[in-house]
Structures are given as structure tokens and as C-alpha cells.
Chains A and B, each alone.
Chain A
Amino acid sequence: MSDSLGSKSETPYSRHSEPNEGDADGGDGSGLNADGTTSTGKSSAKRISKYFTVRLLQAAVTVTLAVYASILIANAGGAVDELRIGQIREQQSVYLSQSPEFRDLRSERRRDLIDEHVQMEIRRLGLDEPFIFRSFRYLRNALTLDLGRAEYLTSESGSRQVRYIILERLPPTLYLFASGNLILFFLSVFGALFLSRRYGSKLDRAVVALAPTSTAPNWFYGIFLVLIFSAVLGWLPFGGMVASPPPANPFLYFLSLVRHLVLPVTAVVLNLLFVSIYTYRTFFLLYSSEDYVEMAKAKGLRSGVVERRYILRPTLPTIITNFSLSMITVWLGSILLEGVFNWPGLGSLIMQAISQTDTPVIIGSVAIYSYLLVFTFLILDVVYAIVDPRVGVGSGGAES
């Protein structure tokens, strides 16, 4: 059980003893895969699918607990209860004011009637039960994003259901996040490989010197990019996802989308690029001083092969772990990044919800971000399992 965690917790500092036991494995594993991918393909697929299933279950438990914890925080001062009762009151007063049989009632009589109905609803929905029972109902609602109606915000299609409002904003956020981070990942891995070959060069030193710039969050870079490329130079749009009105031609639409993506994606990449290259470069350098690398070089293998098979391959799991931890900050930083670029995603939605104090939407976004975080980890776990042949062993606790 804890073995998979142990390997997940590898960090720049944590591998002091690992290479010794990992050497043989890493070397063997990569050799094996390079030589006999077809023969082990089936079993590794089985291994990964089993691993994935276990991980999926773990992720489900994690999300549930995280959302439950958030609910406890949210209701620490009774805010969720107030919100629910407010929603019921609104519902009842709309119902009573619209039904013809109550139209002629005097206003105070109607108010009493509303109070009566609200009390009935509270009892019917079990809101008078102790919080511990209700909290589980809130949990179910939050997990299914069944959060009732937003107070002010509406979706593009005009719906006030929190679920539709949130789900509608998901795709733009995912475009931005996925494109930014894929570019970041590959750019930094190859940049790091490139630099580890030129260890000590001017370029290498420049990147090391630039690594501290990553302390600023990505929206901070966004502000400067807007300042330079939109305000001063006027080359790229200030914000938004497509030009307004959106071009009808799909190709032009795509071009416009790309044009709007340039700056936010650059902000995401620029934010972590140097520190990632610096960290990965360090991993590469550590691994390239291992004996089996010397051995491979001595065998006369081409440097490209040595790099791919003997340096990159065993380092990848460590890199992925590192990348996966940095995702937490990227996800949360992009809330404001979207705000800076007026990107119509979840982040902008949260900012709108804050400015209008739309509580159901804010609570819903806690749930959706928990999902997003956990799914990111899950995907990276699967990638981890694919690149690290050792993983299957401890995943379910079956073998160890």
C-alpha cells in the first residue's frame, strides 16, 4: 500500500539511497522495454489497468473526503444552512405569489403562509436534523454538483442551474490548462536534457540564474505580457478566447483561438519553465553520473541512445512526481490568470461569483477544483505507471 506512495514521494532530495536499488530495476526495465516491448505489452497493459483501477478508487475516496472537509469549513459558521433556507424561502414565495388561489391574500397573511411553507419544507428536507446527518446530504449534492440555482449568474444558454453554469466553463479552462502544461512539460524536459549536455555553459548558467523567477505566480507574468504585447506593442489581444464576433469560418475561428491563447499559454509556460529546466537538469546530472551510464558509454552506444534509454528513462518517474506537485500551484494560479486575460473559464466564473457574492457557484467551484486536482494527479499517476515498470508491484498491496 505504502510502496506506491514511497515512490511517489521522490523529490530532488529523497533519492539518496534509491539509485542503488533502483539502478538494476531502471536499467533492466528500460532494456527490457527497448528489446521486447511486444512480449511484455500484454502484461504491462494488465498491470497498468489494475493499477489504474486501484488508483481510481483511491481518487474517488480522496475527492469525497476533500469535498467533505470543504463542506465542514463552509458550514463552520452556518453559511450553507442559511443559503439553503434562503433558497427554500425564495422558491416558496415565488410559488405562492404565482399560484392564483393565493393571489387575493393580504400581504401579512401571505407572509405567514410563506413562513409556514418554509418550515414545512425545512422539515421535509430534513434541515432541522443535526448537522452531522445533513452534512452527508450536502456532500452528495456537492459531489454531483447538484447545488441548486445560482443567485445571480446564468449560463450562456440562460440556465440558472449551478451544474450547467460550471460545466459550461470547463472546456475553455481545460484548453488553456492542457495546452499550457503540455508545452511546459516537453519544453522543460528537452531543455533540461539539452542543458545537461552543456553543463556549465553560459546558457546553463543563465537558466540557473533565471530559476528564482518562478516564485511569481503565472497571472503575474500575465500582467506583464499584456502590458508589453497588448498595451505597448498592440500585437495581441488584451483578452478573451475568440475575437468578437466570432469568425464563422472554422479555420479562421481556430486561428483566432490560437491568437488569443498565445499570451495566457506563454504566461503558464514562462512561469515554471526555468525552474523546471533547472530541477530536471539536476536530476539528469545526478542520474548521468551513475555507473550503468558509464557502462553504456563504454559499450560504445551512441550518445543519443544513452541519453534516451539510460538517463531520460530512469529519471522520468521523478520528473513526473515533481511535475505533478507543481500542478497544484498551476491550477490555483490559473484562476487569476483567467481573470487577467478575461478567459471565459472556471477562473473567470469564480471571479464573477465573488464580485456578485454568488455562494452556490463558489461552493460548486470548490468541488469542481477538487475533481480537477485529483484527475490531474490520476492522469499523471497513470503516466507514471507507464514509464516506471516497478510501479505495479505495490499498487494494490497484493504483492510486495
Chain B
Amino acid sequence: MSKRPSRFRANLAEIRRYPSAIVGCVMIMMLVGVAIYALAVLSYDDAVRLWRGGAVWAENPRNARPVWYNLVPGVERPTTIVLDSTDPEAEVERTQVGEQRYEISIRLPFEYEYDGFPREVNLFVRSEFDDARPFLVSTWHTPDGRRIPLGRQQVRQTEILRLSQDRDIAGRLGGVSPRFGFFTPDDTPEAAEQGEYELEITATVFDHDAKVDARLVVYGQVHGIAGTDHRRRDIGVALLYGTPIALSFGLLAVVGAYITTFVISAVGTWFGRWVDTLIQRIAEVNMAIPLLVVLIMVGTLYSRSIWVMLAVTIALNVFSPGIKIFRAMFLQVKTAPYIEAAQTYGAGNTRIIFRYMIPKILPVLIPQFVLGIPTFVFLEATLALLGLGDPVLPTWGKVLQDAHQNGALYNGYYYWVLLPAGLLIVTGLGFALVGFALDRIFNPRLRNV
């Protein structure tokens, strides 16, 4: 017995002999690193707020690919261009044109260097005034000298002018969507014209203190490190914050489920007779309870919170089939001479179970433990994909579900599926590689095969 701890450590040290385990360890470290970073930069409330979406993401394009798509040679997709009249580059002039009439002229020039067309063009107008609403006249200038009138609008305090979806402008462009028409004179748009564009806005205001600020957003086709989804949300947020959630879900589920299973199995084996029989029967009945379907039931009837799901998962895994695996091992330990020795010196049941039986089999639990984590991480993803993901938290599974629901594969938004799936693979493989190596180290019977 006294030799056991050192052997245990020696076994652990042996993991260095397995290159696959080292790769696995590196993967796990990376995930843990990402998780810590995520928790450092985003609070729980921030993550929830950002993932709820809405105005926070108004300046993000929809379904934009990640920026690294542009690393492929020959591909140069437009990024998002944002111009604000409060920027130093913007030219803003204010002139008085009559009694209680002032003209604010805003020129927002920008360089466009892409062949591709932007996703959308929106103009956000903010204004401050007393009674009469400001009046806007704007024009779009192209490098080849075309001037496209964008019409006249009376604006409220905040107004979003969706220029690329404006039917009147499209009409003026000969039926071509402004998304293309703004950037090429051709009727059949192929490539955007490169050069200096400008949006000219002339706002008429009717009191001395009135202000008008404009913000032009030319939405790109690429955005951020992970792209955006159909609701303009940055997928990176979900991938980042999904990491600590996935890891903690997996870890808590494994700790809750496996350790209880292990102890129950030891207790059952030690006391034997009806205790053992009862535990065996419960385990058999438990095997016939379809965990995922019960989770679905709980999700639809009561709560979709990830923590409720976690609790139910643990509860239904206490008597998991693993009990039988452990039982077979405990049965052998039970008859070992050192247990008999312990009994003769008068050790109580609790002492024997916790000090003699459990430590003996514990090494076998460790690989199971490590292998169990990804199983539960994938369970969370499964639930999310079934539409039972946590209602507020961003998780990898929820990104996959959004992608699936919006036909990401069918529409060619591969990044939307591949990124969360890639993270799931890294998690799965990382723990599995380590787990399999530990299994071979701690199970002497497997050592030579």
C-alpha cells in the first residue's frame, strides 16, 4: 500500500511516452486557455446581452464570412467600411441659409478597393432638434462621376435609411439593386468599380442648436475572426464564451455522475446481498430510461436552462451502466487479502469502502473520467441542436443549430458549421487522446496490446 502513491505518480509520468496523449494535453490546455480568456474579457451578463442581439450588432453584416477567407490568394472580399460624420476625415460644414434655417453639409468620402460588392449599404442618422424635424437630401458619388440622387427624407431622432434596399433608388438605377448599382454602371453587375466614392448629405435644420450626425455603413462580405450569423451577431462571441460553458458542463456532469456511480457501486459490492441486488435492478431500469428523450421532455415541459439539464443528466447517470463495470472490478477487490486484514484489525464498513476499496480501483476511474467529459460536451450540443439549448447563453451547440436551421450547408456558409464543429472536435479528440492513453497506462491488461 505504501508504494501505491509513488507508482500512481510514475504511471502518470508515463503519459509522456505517448505522443498522442501529449497532443491531447496540448489541445486541452488550449481550450482551458481560451476558457480563461473568455471569462476574463466577457462577464456572464455581457455574454448573455451580446448573444441576445439586436442594436448592438447593427453595424455588422449578415452572414459575413470570417476575415481570414481573404488569406486565400486571389480572394479579396470587401470588409465593412464605417464612416461617421464625427470622424476627423469627414467634411462637415454648417451655414445659415435663412431665418431659423441652417444647412449642414456632410461629405463622407471613402476608398473602395474590392471587386466584390458589399452586402448592404445603410445610413444611420442621429439628430437633435426642438420642434421641426430635419430634412435630408443626399447624393451618392461614384469614381466615374455618376451622381445618384438618394431622395429626400424627413428624419426622426434616430433613423436608419436602408439605402441598398430602397426601391425608389433601385428604380432610378434602372431596376438594379443599389447594392450593385452604387458600385458599377453595368446592368449586369460583375465587378465593382474601384476608386473614391462619396456620400454627400445636405441636412436642413430649423433651429439654432439642432444637430445632425450621419453614419454610413458599407457592409462587407467578411467580418471578424469567426464571421457573423443571420442576425448579424459575431459568431466569435459564441465560440469564445461557449468554451468555458462546454468545459464546465462536461466536467460537472462527469464529477457528479461518475463519482456517485463509483461510490454506489463500491457500497453495493461491499454489502452484497439485497443492497447489491437492488442497485443492480435500479441500474437495469435506468438503462431503459432514454436519457435524451427525458431531457427533451424536461426541456419542453419545464426549463431549458443548461443548469437544469445538467442536474437531470447527473441524476439519470447516477445508476448508469458504468455501475456494472465498476462492480465487476470491486468484486475482485472485495476478496483481496488486504481487505480481510483490515477487517481483522476491526476496520468499519465506511473505512473499508473509502480507504481500501475505492482507492484501489480509482486509477481505472481516471481514464473513464477523462473520456466522459467530451461525451457530455456533445450531449449539450445535441440538446442545442434539438432546439433545447439554453435560452440565453451562447454555446457551440446553439451556433450549430442556428446554422442548421438557416441551411448553412445548403447556402454555402461552411464556416458557420465548421468553426463550432471544429471546436467540438478539438474537445472530443483532446480528452479522448488523453483518456485512451491513460486507459492503457492504468489497465495493465491493455498495456501490452
Interface residues of A (CB under 8 A from B): 1-2, 5-6, 8-14, 16-17, 58, 62-63, 65-66, 69-70, 73-74, 76-77, 79, 199, 209, 211-217, 219-220, 223-224, 226-227, 230-231, 238, 281-282, 285-286, 325, 328, 331-333, 335-336, 339-340, 350-351, 353-355, 357, 359, 362-363, 365-366, 369-370, 373-374, 377
- B298 in contact (CB, < 8 A): yes
Say whether A373 contacts B280, CB under 8 Å: no
Say whether B385 contacts A66, CB under 8 Å: no
- B386 in contact (CB, < 8 A): yes
Q: Please name all residues of chain A whose beta carbon is closer than 8 Å to the beta carbon of B412 when the two chains form the complex.
A: 231
Say whether B321 contacts A5, CB under 8 Å: no
- How big is chain B's contact interface, by range? 35 or more
Query: Which among A9, A58, A70, A354 is the interface contact of B300 at CB below 8 angstroms?
Result: A354
Q: Which of B75-83, B114-122, B285-293 contacts A (4 or more CB under 8 A)?
A: B285-293
Say whether A359 contacts B300, CB under 8 Å: yes
Q: Please name all residues of chain A whose beta carbon is closer than 8 Å to the beta carbon of B300 when the two chains form the complex.
A: 353-354, 357, 359, 362
Can you name the residue of chain B whose Cβ is closest to the Cβ of A370?
B288
Question: Given that A215-B431, A215-B432, A216-B428 are known contacts, is A366 also in contact with B290, CB under 8 Å in the complex?
Answer: yes
A230–B387 Cα distance when bound, in Å, is: 24
A5–B378 Cα distance when bound, in Å, is: 30
Question: Given that A2-B277, A66-B288, A373-B290 are known contacts, is A11 also in contact with B297, CB under 8 Å in the complex?
Answer: no
Say whether B417 contacts A223, CB under 8 Å: yes
- B127 in contact (CB, < 8 A): no
What 1/0 mask marks residues of chain B from 377 to 390 whose CB sits below 8 Å from any chain A CB? 01001100111100
Q: Please name all residues of chain B whose beta carbon is closer than 8 Å to the beta carbon of A336 when the two chains form the complex.
A: 382, 385-386
Question: Given that A14-B329, A216-B378 are known contacts, is A73 also in contact with B409, CB under 8 Å in the complex?
Answer: no
- B414 in contact (CB, < 8 A): yes
Q: Please name all residues of chain A whose beta carbon is closer than 8 Å to the beta carbon of B327 when the two chains form the complex.
A: 9
A186–B371 Cα distance when bound, in Å, is: 25
What 1/0 mask marks residues of chain B from 269 to 297 whose CB sits below 8 Å from any chain A CB? 00000001100100011111111111011
- B328 in contact (CB, < 8 A): yes
Q: Please name all residues of chain A whose beta carbon is closer than 8 Å to the beta carbon of B378 when the two chains form the complex.
A: 215-217, 220
A199–B448 Cα distance when bound, in Å, is: 11
23 contacts between A and B (CB under 8 A): A12-B443, A13-B325, A58-B284, A73-B294, A213-B432, A215-B428, A216-B424, A217-B382, A220-B378, A220-B421, A223-B400, A223-B417, A227-B409, A332-B291, A332-B293, A335-B386, A336-B385, A339-B386, A354-B299, A355-B387, A369-B290, A370-B289, A373-B290
- B436 in contact (CB, < 8 A): yes
Say whether A366 contacts B429, CB under 8 Å: no
A276–B302 Cα distance when bound, in Å, is: 37
Query: Which among A14, A199, A285, A350 is the interface contact of B296 at CB below 8 angstroms?
Result: A350
Q: Please name all residues of chain A whose beta carbon is closer than 8 Å to the beta carbon of B329 when the two chains form the complex.
A: 13-14
- Counting from the closest, the 4 A-B pairs by CB-CB distance are A14-B328, A212-B432, A369-B290, A9-B324
Q: Known pairs A79-B302, A214-B432. 11 more at Cβ < 8 A?
A: A9-B325, A13-B329, A14-B328, A73-B312, A79-B301, A211-B432, A212-B20, A332-B292, A336-B382, A366-B294, A373-B290
Say whether B385 contacts A354, CB under 8 Å: no
A6–B328 Cα distance when bound, in Å, is: 8
Can you name the residue of chain A whose Cβ is closest to the Cβ of B324?
A9
A251–B371 Cα distance when bound, in Å, is: 45
A223–B404 Cα distance when bound, in Å, is: 9
Can you name the residue of chain A whose Cβ is closest to the Cβ of B364?
A13
Majority SS at the chain A contact face: helix
A17–B431 Cα distance when bound, in Å, is: 30
Say whether B414 contacts A351, CB under 8 Å: no
Can you name the residue of chain B whose Cβ is closest to the Cβ of A209?
B20
Question: Given that A217-B382, A282-B446 are known contacts, is A5 also in contact with B280, CB under 8 Å in the complex?
Answer: yes
A332–B321 Cα distance when bound, in Å, is: 15
Can you name the residue of chain A whose Cβ is closest to the Cβ of B301?
A79
A219–B280 Cα distance when bound, in Å, is: 31
A366–B301 Cα distance when bound, in Å, is: 13
Q: Please name all residues of chain A whose beta carbon is closer than 8 Å to the beta carbon of B139 when the two chains form the complex.
A: none
Question: Given that A14-B329, A231-B409, A238-B410 are known contacts, is A331 also in contact with B290, CB under 8 Å in the complex?
Answer: yes
A355–B435 Cα distance when bound, in Å, is: 37
A11–B325 Cα distance when bound, in Å, is: 6
Q: What is the minimal beta-carbon distance from B264 to any residue of chain A, in angstroms?
A: 15
Query: Which among A10, A17, A70, A219 is the interface contact of B297 at CB below 8 angstroms?
Result: A70
Majority SS at the chain B contact face: helix
Say whether A69 contacts B285, CB under 8 Å: yes
Say whether A335 contacts B445, CB under 8 Å: no
A333–B378 Cα distance when bound, in Å, is: 10
Query: Which among B20, B289, B428, B449 is the interface contact of A70 at CB below 8 angstroms?
Result: B289
- B433 in contact (CB, < 8 A): yes
Query: Which among B294, B328, B387, B431 is the interface contact of A11 at CB below 8 angstroms?
Result: B328
A14–B327 Cα distance when bound, in Å, is: 9
Q: What is the minimal beta-carbon distance from B2 to any residue of chain A, in angstroms?
A: 23
Can you name the residue of chain A whose Cβ is closest to the Cβ of B433?
A212
Can you name the residue of chain B whose Cβ is closest to the Cβ of A76?
B302
Say whether B297 contacts A373, CB under 8 Å: no
Q: What is the minimal beta-carbon distance from A325 to any residue of chain B, in angstroms?
A: 5
Can you name the residue of chain A whose Cβ is closest to the Cβ of B442?
A13
Q: What is the minimal beta-carbon distance from A145 to any residue of chain B, in angstroms?
A: 14
Can you name the residue of chain A whose Cβ is closest to the Cβ of B373?
A215
Which of B292, B302, B436 neighbours the largest number of chain A CB atoms within 10 Å of its CB? B292
Q: What is the minimal beta-carbon distance from B361 to any residue of chain A, in angstroms?
A: 9
Which of A1, A5, A238 neighbours the largest number of chain B CB atoms within 10 Å of its CB? A5
A238–B409 Cα distance when bound, in Å, is: 10
Q: Please name all residues of chain A whose beta carbon is closer than 8 Å to the beta carbon of B435 when the two chains form the complex.
A: 212
Q: Please name all residues of chain B whose beta carbon is closer than 8 Å to the beta carbon of A357 when the two chains form the complex.
A: 300
Say whether A354 contacts B293, CB under 8 Å: no
Query: Which among B324, B375, B385, B410 is the interface contact of A8 at CB below 8 angstroms?
Result: B324
Say whether A77 contacts B285, CB under 8 Å: no
Q: Please name all residues of chain A whose beta carbon is closer than 8 Å to the beta carbon of B374 when the two chains form the complex.
A: 215-216
Question: Given that A70-B294, A354-B296, A354-B387 are known contacts, is A215 also in contact with B375, CB under 8 Å in the complex?
Answer: yes
Q: Please name all residues of chain B whose beta carbon is closer than 8 Å to the beta carbon of A70 when the two chains form the complex.
A: 289, 294, 297
Say whether A211 contacts B301, CB under 8 Å: no
- B332 in contact (CB, < 8 A): yes
- B425 in contact (CB, < 8 A): yes
Say whether B301 contacts A359, CB under 8 Å: yes
Mark out the residues of chain B between 286 and 336 whose CB falls within 8 Å of any chain A CB in the assembled complex: 286-294, 296-302, 312, 321, 324-325, 327-329, 332
A13–B375 Cα distance when bound, in Å, is: 20
Which of A199, A211, A223, A230 neighbours the largest number of chain B CB atoms within 10 Å of its CB? A223
Can you name the residue of chain A whose Cβ is closest to the Cβ of B325?
A11
